Structure formats: structure tokens, C-alpha cells
Amino acid sequence: MLHNTACLIQNCKILGKVYKVHLPNYDIFDEKRYFSSGKESPLFEIEGEKIGVNICEDIWFERGPIEEQVKKGANLIINISASPFYAGKREIRRTIISQKAARNRIPIIFVNMVGGQDDLIFDGSSYVFNKEGKLIAKGESFKEDFIVIDSFEGKEIPCVENTVKNVLDALVLGTRDYVKKNGFNKAVIGLSGGIDSALTTVIACEALGSNNVLALLLPGPYSTKGSLDDAVKLSNNLGIEYRVIDINKIYQAYIDTLNEHFKGLK
């Protein structure tokens, strides 16, 4: 029987385990395919503090492990998550966790994974809320971070989101990790001079470095001089290598080869 498990480890020894109770089985999640649900929500005692640990989805339920752990006398809740990013997701997380902390009168530490995994992006953005539900500490977004807090009596801190920057940072992180985790380090991009390929090239340069990006400029029968000039200018601005490959002959070869087979079709 497999469980999605959090472990308490000290001096290279596993002192305790807690199994995830609520297994999501919607959208990108298929945990019930692999894991069995935990039945209990134990506490760990560390230096006199009773700590309740739960995993990701467990914090989203109205009457979940947190409420059970509070009834058992928990002084602190730690939720470890692999919560994927989308625009607006962090506001939802903060609202839910803040309400949980205030309703149960208990500090909550939310620790989220960071990194890209195929089409998923995990943004980090870990949080610490006090028992009033106020945000008193937060981790970096889209990069690893380490938070140190002395107590849960700190002042509430602001949390202003820049949606456009968040999306750009997510795309850069996702691209960088996809390339790195698949064992290559360079990208070749068809750069047309239009906005789509221009943005793609900028993201690739941010993720991999300009020296690891090669742009192919492919003027054809429908290209304008302005498009080619824009592609050259962008390449120079980004400091990337570019090559111009005229595809007019290739295009005409396709037309000549396929014309007979598509004759009469519209």
C-alpha cells in the first residue's frame, strides 16, 4: 500500500510519518490511481511544541486534518505542498490559509514546491500566517528560498501581486527547468519578426542565457522586409546568434510537388 507521506527526520533518523488524507483526483491530479488515503492526523512534539503536519490538498478542506490536529492540541500547523501555479492562484491560497489560521486560532506555515515539471510550474511562494490569520513572512516566488522567523508575533506584511511579471517569471522557470531536466542546454527558435516568436525568444534568453539561443530567420514569399528587419534588430538587442535561411525555393518545391495531388481542391 502506497501513501503520499511526510516524514519527520532528525539526525538521519525517521521519527514519524503522516499520510495525506485527501487525495485529489481531478484536473491534473490522479493521486487515487497510485496512493491510499491516510486515516489519522498525528502530532509531532518538538521541544515542547505540538506540531501538526499535513499535505497540500488537506488544507483546502473545510473540515480536514487541521481541525482534527487543533482538537488534539496542536500549537502549529505545517502544510507541505506541490501546488501548481496559474494566474490568480496565490491570492486563492492566501485567502484559504488565512481563514484557516484565524478560524482555528493557530499559526500556519505553508511550504510550497518550486520548479518546473513538464507542463506544470510550481512557484514556491511559501507563507507564514499567525493565529489571527495575518501574513507575517513570505518566501521568494519562482526561486528557492529559506525563511527564518523568531516568533509568530511579527507585523503583518503587504503582498502586492504583479500578474504580468508573475506569468513571465513562470514561463522562464518552466522553460529553464524543462531544458535542464531533459538534458540539453540550447534552443533553436524560428524568429519571424512577429510578437509571438519575439516573446518566445526573450523567454528563452532569460531562461538559458543569450549564448544558448540560436535564431533562424526564414524569409519566404509572404515575408516583408519589415519583419526581417525586426527579427534582426531583436537578435542584436538580445545578443543572440542568428542565421538567415531563405525558404523561397523550399516553398516552391513543396508547391510543385503537391500541386498535382491537390488539383481542384479549395
Which pLDDT tens digit goes with each residue over 173-198? 999 999 999 999 999 999 999 999 99
138 and 234 fall within a common domain: no
pLDDT at 62 over 90: no
Asked, for residue 248, whether it belongs to a domain, the answer is: yes
105 and 229 fall within a common domain: no
Asked, for residue 177, whether it belongs to a domain, the answer is: no
83 and 140 fall within a common domain: yes
Alpha-carbon distance 192 to 182, whole Å?
27
pLDDT band, residue 61 (cuts 50/70/90): confident
38 and 138 fall within a common domain: yes
The tens digit of pLDDT for each residue in 110-137 reads: 999 999 999 999 999 999 999 999 999 9
**What's the pLDDT score for residue 169?**
97
Asked, for residue 174, whether it belongs to a domain, the answer is: no
Overall number of domains in the chain: 2
191 and 115 fall within a common domain: no
**What's the pLDDT score for residue 63?**
82
249 and 117 fall within a common domain: no
**Eight-state DSSP code of residue 146:** -
CATH code (residue 25):
3.60.110.10
Strand partners of residue 243: 216
pLDDT at 26 over 90: no
114 and 237 fall within a common domain: no
Asked, for residue 216, whether it belongs to a domain, the answer is: yes
**Eight-state DSSP code of residue 241:** E
CA distances from 254 to 96, 222, 244, 262 (A): 57, 15, 20, 12
pLDDT at 104 over 80: yes
Average pLDDT, the chain: 94
205 and 149 fall within a common domain: no
Q: Which amino acid is at 164?
A: V
189 and 60 fall within a common domain: no
pLDDT at 15 over 90: no
CATH code (residue 193):
3.40.50.620
CA 153-57-110 angle, 5° bins: 25
Containing 138, the helix (H) or strand (E) segment is: strand 135-138
Q: Are 85 and 92 in contact (CB under 8 A)?
A: no
In 10 A of CB 90, how many CB atoms? Answer: 20
pLDDT band, residue 262 (cuts 50/70/90): confident
- Give the mean model confidence (pLDDT) for residues 206-212: 98
The tens digit of pLDDT for each residue in 230-257 reads: 999 999 999 999 999 999 999 999 999 9
DSSP H helical segments within 50-190, as ranges?
A: 65-71, 89-104, 163-181
119 and 216 fall within a common domain: no
- The three state secondary structure string of 207-235 is HHCHHHEEEEECCCCCCCHHHHHHHHHHH
Strand partners of residue 189: 215
Alpha-carbon distance 70 to 50, whole Å?
10
Asked, for residue 180, whether it belongs to a domain, the answer is: no
**What's the pLDDT score for residue 133?**
96
pLDDT at 68 over 90: yes
Domain membership of residue 124 as a residue range = 5-161
133 and 232 fall within a common domain: no
Asked, for residue 64, whether it belongs to a domain, the answer is: yes
pLDDT at 19 over 80: yes
Asked, for residue 12, whether it belongs to a domain, the answer is: yes
The tens digit of pLDDT for each residue in 135-177 reads: 999 999 999 999 998 888 888 999 888 999 999 999 999 999 9
192 and 132 fall within a common domain: no
**What's the pLDDT score for residue 177?**
97
Asked, for residue 210, whether it belongs to a domain, the answer is: yes
**What's the pLDDT score for residue 1?**
86
Instruction: Among 161, 176, 198, give the residue marking a domain's end.
Output: 161
